[in-house]
Structure 1
Amino acid sequence: MSEPLTNPGLPEFRPHPGYTLTPPRDPRPIVIVGAGGIVRDAHLPAYAKAGFPVASIVDRRPEPARALADRYGIAQAFSDVAEAIAAAPADAVFDLALPPEAHVEVLELLPDGAPVLIQKPLGNHLPDGVRTREVCRRKGLVAAVNTQLRFAPYVAAARELIASGAIGELYDMEIRVCVQTPWEMFPYVLDLDRLEINMHSVHYLDLIRSFLGDPTGVSAVTVRHPRKTHANSRSDIALQYGGRPVRAVVSTNHDHVFGPRYQDSFIKWEGTGGAVRAQMGLLLDYPTGGRDVLEYALADEPEAGWRPLPFTGSWFPDAFIGSMGVLHRYLEGSVDSLPTSVEDVFRTMAVVEAAYRSAESGGEPPPYDA
């Protein structure tokens, strides 16, 4: 099924062992900081499905914290973060499901050396990420970032197939999203000066990095809707990889209000020997979601066409099992490095910053007067 690899040193052929969905041997108790919609819809369903123990949940609004604690059989609910941290088990893993502007304050309260999973993005602007990274370094925190799309079941299955050499060397990676996104479900983002890239396309830029490594250049356009007051909601981003002949692009349109017929939500990998395509059903009719589909085609078997590639689970909630699980696996020593560390994901934030700077530059003026 696979062809001989012309360049086995390329990153897509040697993925980090933490990207497999192997569960940790002995999960530690989790203290969740935040009781918003992402905790309700993803974190807690994921941890319940995986059997990860949750020791407590804290939110400055006591009602949602208590409601979630009752629903999931969590022993303790708090309204004071410092109190929850003081009551945490000695081996607790802290799960910060907070807006980025709240990260530093809570990180400063954690015990030095504590393990923590931080919600993406690391900040609304690059200096925010620098401050988050500085706190993690100074306190010696074992800090990971919840870049959970890396662990979506269809991504994991595609990664395994690609690493096997089945579709050869990647020369194209495209992510296309054309949907109607209900930003009003997340009111706090409506006042941000940066919206689409740092709150949404960050997932895709991070995913591309996890396959192809760090880009050497970024070009982008990102714009707002002329009749809406929130910030940018449509983007095109192209990543360059030095002399490597690979096209890596992200194209998003969150303003497609014209029904489902021409909506798109997919990741596509093309290689010298074949291709893989994943439909991300979650974004189709969000938050209800549509169907996830994963297919592959091989260049030397054209008569077979596109065939299903088996996988189990979806982005929500299963990918959240992977992002928390890999931190546990690193803590127990079953993987020797942390692929989602703050140090690594800060580099995704640098790509986000480059995209905004590129968009603000206005592009290269055409030489009309030559």
Structure 2
Amino acid sequence: MPTDYSALRQSWPKPSAPRPIVIIGAGGIVNDAHLPAYRLASLPVAGVFDIDRDKALALAAKWDIPAFATLEEAIATPGAIYDLALPPVAHLDVLPKLPDGAAVLLQKPMGRDLSDATAILKLCRAKKLVAAVNFQLRFSPMMLAVADALERGWLGRLIDTEVHLNLVTPWELFPFLKGAPRVEIAVHSIHYLDLIRALLGNPVGVHARTMGHPSTELAQTRTSALIDFEDGVRTTMSINHNHDFGRKFQDASFRFEGTEGAAMVKLGLLLNYPAGEPDELWITRKGEDWQQVALSGGWFPHAFVGTMSNLQRFAAGEDDRLVSSVEDAWHTMALAEAAFASAAAPATQVQAQP
């Protein structure tokens, strides 16, 4: 009989007694993912604050939630879980103002670079914060299912992993990236680095190149990387955000190949972003045909239910592990830092003909 994949885990359990969420930051991601996720999961939102008062008021009116007048008012919310939907540069400004021991979810990345990430880690330790980073791809229905298939042994030992993107990303939706020295790996491919770590553990090294494109002023929009693991797993990334030649050959996929089976994931959200297409998951085992696994949701907004639910459940003692804790997320930042260092290093020179 073919394997029945319908039992694969695709969602994170909800907290039994949800605490009120205070959102600090009113950018597009809050409107597109955070608030839809919290409403979908019936997680209470106490309100939103942004230094741009008009932006906060507009978002609050759209979602029928309160808008805090000041950061101090937002932080003073009793029993709050803090959702810091901020640019990476702002985390170190807001974290010191939170109550010691507070539970907080930080928007990825964990600072601008590894130095920021280390400062954030030390600050969270000093203040005893229950702190996680919103690396939410690992909580998407498709990736929870892949992780479950691996845990069940259905794919055997993972030996080959490939991320392939060849598409158009509307970078104009993210004007804050213009002039930033680190773009593609820091704010996009960091999701893939984090997921690879989640499934394979910490790598020992990385070879990478990241670069811009003539069609954009952004520092980088294309990346290639080879990630090394001690046990010889081959892991590659080929990322091109500038394939502006129609949909026919655009692609956004993750391939997981094991000794006993394989899985293919279509990252539908990234195709025609932000409208996107449905995500897809296909799995095969040796001796069986490929089967498409029916998914219970998409990367946006369902993965954002998972990160907040895990944080709330861990803070309440219902989960024994904070999956994307700052302690864990620091290693993703270290991998990204190593990729940038590799990209800046000279390549092995090809010998000239004598």
Which bin holds the TM-score, normalised by the shorter protein?
Answer: over 0.9
Aligned to 1:235: 223
The counterpart of 2:71, out of the listed 75, 81, 104, is 81
Letter in 1 for 2:110: L
1:179 aligns with 2:170: no
Aligned to 1:340: 324
* Native 8 Å contact 1:2 1:164 kept in 2: no
Query: Structure 1: 5+ residue runs without aligned partners?
Result: 4-16
More displaced, 330-339 or 205-214?
330-339
> Take 2:203 and 2:272, find their aligned partners in 1: how far apart are those partners?
32
Deviation at 1:246? 1.0
> Take 2:28 and 2:325, find their aligned partners in 1: how far apart are those partners?
24
Deviation at 1:20? 5.4
1:203 aligns with 2:194: no
Q: Which runs of 4+ in 1 moved over 4 A?
A: none
Aligned to 2:26: 35
The counterpart of 2:208, out of the listed 212, 217, 220, is 220
Aligned to 1:245: 232
More displaced, 120-129 or 37-46?
120-129
The counterpart of 1:55, out of the listed 46, 71, 94, is 46
Aligned to 1:14: none
The TM-score, its normalising length taken from structure 2, stands at 0.95
> Take 1:369 and 1:81, find their aligned partners in 2: how far apart are those partners?
65
* Native 8 Å contact 1:179 1:263 kept in 2: yes
Q: How many residues align?
A: 349
1:145 aligns with 2:133: yes
User: Which SS does the other structure have where 2:178 is aligned?
Assistant: helix
* Native 8 Å contact 1:294 1:310 kept in 2: yes
> Take 2:270 and 2:254, find their aligned partners in 1: how far apart are those partners?
12
Deviation at 1:2? 10
1:290 aligns with 2:277: yes
* Native 8 Å contact 2:163 2:254 kept in 1: yes
* Native 8 Å contact 2:53 2:69 kept in 1: yes
**1:1-370 matched pairs, under 5 angstroms:** 21-74=12-65, 76-86=66-76, 88-89=77-78, 91-242=79-230, 244-301=231-288, 304=289, 306-368=290-352
> Take 1:365 and 1:78, find their aligned partners in 2: how far apart are those partners?
57
* Native 8 Å contact 2:278 2:298 kept in 1: no
* Native 8 Å contact 1:198 1:352 kept in 2: yes
The TM-score, its normalising length taken from structure 1, stands at 0.91
> Take 2:155 and 2:23, find their aligned partners in 1: how far apart are those partners?
40
User: Which SS does the other structure have where 1:171 is aligned?
Assistant: strand
Query: Structure 2: 5+ residue runs without aligned partners?
Result: 4-8
> Take 1:338 and 1:28, find their aligned partners in 2: how far apart are those partners?
16
Deviation at 1:80? 2.1
Deviation at 1:293? 1.1
